[in-house]
Amino acid sequence: MDGGNGHSWRFTVPLWRWREGSWHFVTVPQDVSDEVDEAVGDATGGFGSVRVEVTVGESVWRTSLFPSTEEAAYVLPVKKAVRAKEGLTEGRPADVTIRLVTG
């Protein structure tokens, strides 16, 4: 895992599906979630969201991390187009890089 220098982090975590719906997420590791909290302080968006740029494989997109009380960490939605392009399936690990978006 890369540190938060420049406010970016890399980690490998499994993709999971929320309930029976079509929403898929990865859970940001607890230590990374803690570092994100430290980096953003009180500057979060609605629902405690944090704007990020995400890289998975060749795909790069902007979205938000959302705090999850169930996971006690941030969760990151992974859209269908990215899952299809990168061959991501539920339960399989995904290599993820996140970078804070400011401004």
Domains and CATH numbers, the chain: 5-100 (2.40.30.100)
Distance separating alpha carbons of residues 41 and 81, to the nearest angstrom:
32
Report pLDDT for 46: 75
pLDDT value, residue 89: 96
Model confidence pTM above 0.85: yes
Q: Give the rounded distance of the alpha carbon of 86 from its chain centre.
A: 16
Which of 52, 42, 47 has its CA nearest to residue 67?
A: 47
Q: How many residues does the chain have?
A: 103
Please tell me the predicted confidence (pLDDT) of residue 103: 66
pLDDT tens across the length of the chain (103 residues): 444 446 999 999 999 998 878 899 999 999 999 999 999 988 777 778 999 999 999 999 999 999 998 888 999 999 999 999 999 999 999 999 999 998 6
